[in-house]
């Protein structure tokens, strides 16, 4: 029964919007990961039907020992749609089996009502947009070269062509030099190249932050990835740095930290020091971090841009007051992350990204960041379009920014037309102290300066905001 309890925890985290299906399942112990993933995904596919069965039978009201709705859904799934509940006899299993006849009866009634001839017809289908997103594979330059990778795939019968036209076609990406695109149906999780860390399965848009940050491949480089797990962006940074210098990878969650370390080891990232700590609680003047020049920020977000073969099964962000409050808390947390990054004395470049489509987490956070004391006193501005994927066509929302130029400095990705997940990226750069400072004296800056009069107030506000954001994420 422990297996079902662990799977229920995954569903609980998904309900709480604590990450994507792939990200949360990655935290499950490796020995149980594949089995847990299969059960969770199949249960999500049938979740609307299983919920209807559960409510119609009043199982939770009559069986008080079954206190978790998600646990009940998992058990009912295996009873009705698999080979039965795979657990020893116990009060919870027996509680479900007492209602076996009624559960089957309600399931059959729903099947007839919906005109389904097979169980599969009751399942939620794949998001149609996923069929137009290639299977992206980033070549890990810590292990080998893109040329070697292309030669290897060629020896397997793959040909350089439009990856959407054939299962044996693949292409070099136009924007990310290390990225290859394959047909959406191609699988690599059992491939030796993936298991050896030679290839990283990473969506194209997720490669943008490290590419835009562009840390130098130099022994003197000092870089921070502020929210590193599961480690795809960290390994990308490491490869761009040529495994040179020092890359600090922060992750405060203990389980995700373990996942991060395993991933970095597999990807042969020798210049990374994983730090099991909260980036926000790190002192910018700490001697260990005071020389950091590049920071990657990919903080918790709503995940509203994620469109893949699994996450469409999750309920979308509610467009009610509760949903808007959660977005506001996330935006507050995101702004706090940027402001903290700007306090590092040697930082020159800060890449900020989300997998969100909401302006409140993207353009509005950036606009507010530019008006903070940290940005104004530190001479931070947005890098021009020429330095931020200049040939990418989809830019920021003009109506959300102070100027058209600022909007052009931002990058947006849309799952509806860009063959990627929804994503947002920008780059803050520190201008030379003698340059023209932005002429901004806003009401928000005055309020910030007033609020920041004492260290005690700053600490209190930060602690509360972090707590709220962590509850929301």
Could you say which of 207, 355, 413, 426 is catalytic? 355
456 against 198, higher pLDDT: 198
- Give tens-digit pLDDT for 391-414: 999 999 999 999 999 999 999 999
Top-ranked range on mean pLDDT: pick from 107-116, 117-126, 235-244:
235-244
Query: What pLDDT, on a 0 to 100 scale, did the predictor assign at position 348?
Result: 98
Top-ranked range on mean pLDDT: pick from 30-39, 198-207, 426-435, 449-458:
198-207
Q: Which helix (H) or strand (E) holds 38?
A: helix 30-45
For the question of residue 143 being annotated catalytic, the response is no
The C-alpha atoms of residue 133 and residue 153 are separated, in whole angstroms, by: 20
Torsion angle in degrees (nearest 10) through CA of 416, 419, 422, 423:
-140
For the cut 60, the answer to whether the pLDDT of residue 451 exceeds it is no
For the cut 90, the answer to whether the pLDDT of residue 7 exceeds it is yes
- Give tens-digit pLDDT for 365-394: 999 999 999 999 999 999 999 999 999 999
Query: What pLDDT, on a 0 to 100 scale, did the predictor assign at position 442?
Result: 34
Q: What percent of the chain has pLDDT over 90?
A: 73
Query: What pLDDT, on a 0 to 100 scale, did the predictor assign at position 464?
Result: 58
For the cut 70, the answer to whether the pLDDT of residue 224 exceeds it is yes
Contacts of 146 (CB under 8 A, 6+ apart): 139, 172, 177, 178, 180
Report the half-sphere exposure of 324 (CA within 13 A, side-chain side): 3
Domains belonging to the chain, first-starting first, are 2-122 (1.10.940), 128-201 (3.30.70.1170), 207-472 (3.40.50.150)
DSSP notation for 81-121: HSSS--S---HHHHHHHTTHHHHHHHHHHHHHHTT-SSGGG
Contacts of 205 (CB under 8 A, 6+ apart): 305, 355, 413, 418, 420, 421, 422, 423, 425
Query: What pLDDT, on a 0 to 100 scale, did the predictor assign at position 318?
Result: 55
Query: What pLDDT, on a 0 to 100 scale, did the predictor assign at position 453?
Result: 41
Determine the average pLDDT of the residues in 95-100. 94
pLDDT band at residue 268 under the 50/70/90 scheme: very high
The C-alpha atoms of residue 315 and residue 17 are separated, in whole angstroms, by: 9
Best CA proximity match to 369, nearest among 400, 398, 345:
400
Q: From residue 259, how far is each of 4, 38, 97, 235 by CA, in Å?
A: 21, 19, 37, 13
Q: What is the mean pLDDT of the chain?
A: 89
Query: What pLDDT, on a 0 to 100 scale, did the predictor assign at position 30?
Result: 82
Determine the average pLDDT of the residues in 157-178. 96
Query: What pLDDT, on a 0 to 100 scale, did the predictor assign at position 472?
Result: 52
The C-alpha atoms of residue 300 and residue 394 are separated, in whole angstroms, by: 23
The structure's pTM equals 0.75
Candidate from 151-160, 352-361, 413-422, 446-455 with smallest mean pLDDT: 446-455
Query: What pLDDT, on a 0 to 100 scale, did the predictor assign at position 408?
Result: 98
Tokens 């709705």 correspond to: 69
Query: What pLDDT, on a 0 to 100 scale, did the predictor assign at position 449?
Result: 36
- Give tens-digit pLDDT for 275-321: 999 999 999 999 999 999 999 999 999 888 887 656 656 665 555 67
For the cut 80, the answer to whether the pLDDT of residue 461 exceeds it is no
- Give tens-digit pLDDT for 61-83: 999 899 999 999 999 999 999 98
For the cut 90, the answer to whether the pLDDT of residue 142 exceeds it is yes
What is the 3-state composition of the chain as percent helix, strand, coil, each rounded to the nearest 5? 45, 10, 40
3-class DSSP state for residue 236? helix
β 135-139/222-225 pair status: unpaired
Beta bridge pairs of residue 180: 137, 172
β 159-160/169-172 pair status: parallel
pLDDT band at residue 127 under the 50/70/90 scheme: low
């Amino acid at each position: 029964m422990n297996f079902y309890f662990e799977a229920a925890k995954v569903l609980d985290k998904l309900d709480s919007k604590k990450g994507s299906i792939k990200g949360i399942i990655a935290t499950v112990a490796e020995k149980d990961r594949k089995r847990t993933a299969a059960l969770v995904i199949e249960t999500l596919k049938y979740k609307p039907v299983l919920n209807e069965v559960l409510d119609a039978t009043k199982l939770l009201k009559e069986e008080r020992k079954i206190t978790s709705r998600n646990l009940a859904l998992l058990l009912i799934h295996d009873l009705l749609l698999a080979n039965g509940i795979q657990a020893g006899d116990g009060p919870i299993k027996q509680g479900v089996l007492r209602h076996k006849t009624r559960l089957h009866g309600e399931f059959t009634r729903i099947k007839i009502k919906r005109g389904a001839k097979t169980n599969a017809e009751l399942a939620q289908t794949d998001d149609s947009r996923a069929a137009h997103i290639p299977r992206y594979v980033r070549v890990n330059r810590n292990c080998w070269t893109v040329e070697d990778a292309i030669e290897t795939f060629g020896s397997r019968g793959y040909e350089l062509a439009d990856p959407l036209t054939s299962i044996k076609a693949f292409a070099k990406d136009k924007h990310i030099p290390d990225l290859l695109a394959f047909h959406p149906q191609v699988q690599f999780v059992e491939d030796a190249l993936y298991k050896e860390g030679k290839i990283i399965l990473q969506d194209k848009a997720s490669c943008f932050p490290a590419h835009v940050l562009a840390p130098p491949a130099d022994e003197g480089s000092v870089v921070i990835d502020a929210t590193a797990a599961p480690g795809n962006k960290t390994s990308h940074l490491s490869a761009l740095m040529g495994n040179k210098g020092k890359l600090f990878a922060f992750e405060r969650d203990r389980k995700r930290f373990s996942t991060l370390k395993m991933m970095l080891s597999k990807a042969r990232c020798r210049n990374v020091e994983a730090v099991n700590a909260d980036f926000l609680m790190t002192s910018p003047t700490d001697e260990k971090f005071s020389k950091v020049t590049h920071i990657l920020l990919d903080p918790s977000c709503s995940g509203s841009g994620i469109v893949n073969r699994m996450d469409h099964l999750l309920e979308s962000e509610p467009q009610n007051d509760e949903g808007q409050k959660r977005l506001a808390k996330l935006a507050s947390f995101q702004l706090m992350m940027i402001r903290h990054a700007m306090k590092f004395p040697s930082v020159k470049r800060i890449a900020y990204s989300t997998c969100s489509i909401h302006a409140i987490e993207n353009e509005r956070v950036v606009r507010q960041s530019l008006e903070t004391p940290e940005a104004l006193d530190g001479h931070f501005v947005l890098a021009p379009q020429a330095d931020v994927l200049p040939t990418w066509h989809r830019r920021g929302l003009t109506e959300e920014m102070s100027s058209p130029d600022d909007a052009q400095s931002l990058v947006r990705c849309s799952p509806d037309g860009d063959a990627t997940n929804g994503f947002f990226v920008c780059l803050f750069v520190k201008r030379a102290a003698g340059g023209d400072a932005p002429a901004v004296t806003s009401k928000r800056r005055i309020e910030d300066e007033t609020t920041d009069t004492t260290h005690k107030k700053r600490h209190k506000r930060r602690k509360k905001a972090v707590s709220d954001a962590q509850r929301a994420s």
